[in-house]
Amino acid sequence: MSRDAAVLFANDAFYLAFATRDMAAMDDIWARRAAVSCLHPGWAPLTGRDAVMESWRGILGSPDSPQISCANAQATVIGDVAVVVCGEILAQGTLAATNVFAFEDGAWKMVHHHAAPAPPPETAAAGDDAPPTLQ
Amino acid sequence: MSRDAAVLFANDAFYLAFATRDMAAMDDIWARRAAVSCLHPGWAPLTGRDAVMESWRGILGSPDSPQISCANAQATVIGDVAVVVCGEILAQGTLAATNVFAFEDGAWKMVHHHAAPAPPPETAAAGDDAPPTLQ
């Protein structure tokens, strides 16, 4: 398996754990050596494994935990770190995510997750010159 | 200068180029070897140096280019890659950003930027167990 494929496999495992509310898998997906951080949509940034795992316990244990799937994931591997950019499809709308992984003890582990609202892929106008907005 | 400090210096240089609409500095800040990507607030993901630089030319050249400053930047260095999480303060509101840098030809260069709405620092309730929302 190429390094890109291995990273995308780890990214898929993250969304599978999210969709199936599998907290044990989610815990295993996140790095234990590198410092971790997480920006959930509309939340203040979380730093440190304890805070990040607490957030996932709350999300995955909630009856409002969203159904989610990943789309259009693209990985860039730089040494032992990889950046994945992908879409997240939820019933409520579409998000875009940055997921960062580090190669740690023989496996790609998540060190950072940032998800935020983005236009759905079919209306995406990548490369237009509109200024960024807050919406 | 420690590696953390050097990364935060590069992060500050990014926001200085943004705030002063200095396209030459912005161009120099972004990596030339590693693949780059950018998620502006509410935009579809941009990948590749040409698309990312085109977006910055549009933003920095616009009369609506926002005044911006960076707050609470934290760097995590993993080998030759660094992840910075920070707040962005604009007149219109507060964003949170993920900025990823790679050590390239002796300097930290930006390979990924993702900015999206976030609560202002004074009302941030990091670590609460509210589920993520789309707002």
pLDDT in tens, A46-92: 999 999 999 999 999 999 899 999 999 999 999 999 999 999 999 98
Tens-place pLDDT, residues B98-107: 999 999 999 9
Closest by alpha carbon to B100, among B42, B55, B57, B52? B52
Domain range for A101 is: 3-120
Answer whether residue A84 is part of any domain.
Answer: yes
Report the CATH number at residue B59.
3.10.450.50
Answer whether residue B124 is part of any domain.
Answer: no
Answer whether residue B123 is part of any domain.
Answer: no
Tell me the three state secondary structure of residue B118: coil
The pLDDT of residue A121 is 66
Q: What is the pTM of this model?
A: 0.90
The pLDDT of residue B125 is 47
Chain B nearest CA to A71, separation (Å): 12
Tens-place pLDDT, residues A109-135: 999 999 999 987 654 444 444 444 433
Cα–Cα distances (Å) from B33 to B36, B109, B110, in that order, read 9, 10, 11
Quick check: B72 pLDDT over 70? yes
Contact A68, A90 (CB under 8 A): yes
Using an 8 Å CB-CB cutoff, list chain B residues near A126: 43-46, 51
Chain A nearest CA to B26, separation (Å): 16
